[in-house]
Amino acid sequence: MFVATLLTDPARPALDPALVESLRNAWGGKNAIWLAPDEAAEFALAHRPDNLWQVWDDLQKLGVDLAIQPAEARRKTMLLADMDSTMIRQECIDELADVAGFGPQVRDITARAMNGELDFEGALIARVALLKGLDQGVIAQVLAQRITPMPGGGALVATMQAHGGHAALVSGGFTAFTAAVAGQLGFDEHRANTLLIEDGKLTGDVARPILGRAAKVEALEQITARLGIAESDVIAVGDGANDLGMLERAGTGVALHAKPSVAAQCDIRINHGDLTALLYLQGYARDDFVT
């Protein structure tokens, strides 16, 4: 059996019951279950529809996300999440570079790296080099004034933990930011790169080895082994090319507001919903959310 989940942006819920019923009838699905009024619904299916992506394209134009996944074991016991543009709205290195006066240049490199056009490690080294001499106090300034959580992140982490889940934040960004974000959102652990600092200023380099795509996969392997769970017990979420390895390996990989080239390689793509979409995908209703 499979489950089809339809959802919209919680800030502007507009999921039409008639649309859900029409699709359910067309695909021969079972009775629809509403996870949140006007926001999220699901129904069971015997088979994966052949016209899934054609329907997905049509629904995208209406501001509706659609995902189809096996019904068995879709509720996961571990969350593995990227940070920049996933658990937070911003890219931390872009915000630091903006303060340093290299904002446009670094944003361009970041966008190309996240889209898979540039080698992640080389792109990171090049961007960090532009931060040389920046006062370390700018990190706290950026955290306080420029970094905002992605909607739904706190509920995602807290709800999964309330049901025995483990939450790990794994970023190609920096520990100075993951420590703060993990603490704010309640993650159990975090991993990232370390900005090197001497005499209170950034040196323009990061500690080795650099945490990139392969390291995120290693985190998946190591944390699941430590917890004694299978990789299929993990739901992973990210938006960039360096997230593809963990998205492919996890039981459920979610491309959230992802770069087009990244989304194209993922079976579950959320472009309109927020992080609560990951709870709906697991069958949680809004009344089940822990906030």
CA-to-CA separations, 245 to 74, 212, 240, 248, in angstroms, rounded: 20, 10, 10, 5
Pick the catalytic residue from 82, 94, 233, 274.
82
Asked if 233 is an active-site residue, the reply is no
CB 155 within 8 A of CB 186: no
Pick the catalytic residue from 9, 16, 58, 84.
84
Asked if 82 is an active-site residue, the reply is yes
3-state secondary structure the chain: CEEEEEECCCCCCCCCHHHHHHHHHHHCCCCCEEEECCCEEEEEECCCCCCHHHHHHHHHCCCCEEEEEECCCCCCCEEEECCCCCCECCCHHHHHHHHHCCHHHHHHHHHHHHCCCCCHHHHHHHHHHCCCCCECHHHHHHHHHCCCECCCHHHHHHHHHHCCCEEEEEEEEEHHHHHHHHHHHCCCEEEEECEEEECCEEEEEECCCCCCHHHHHHHHHHHHHHHCCCHHHEEEEECCHHHHHHHHHCCEEEEECCCHHHHCCCCEEECCCCCCHHHHHCCCCHHHCCC
Q: In sequence order, what are the residues at sequence separation of 6 or more whose Cβ sits closer than 8 angstroms to the Cβ of residue 87?
A: 81, 149, 150, 153, 169, 181, 185, 275
Active site residues: 82, 84
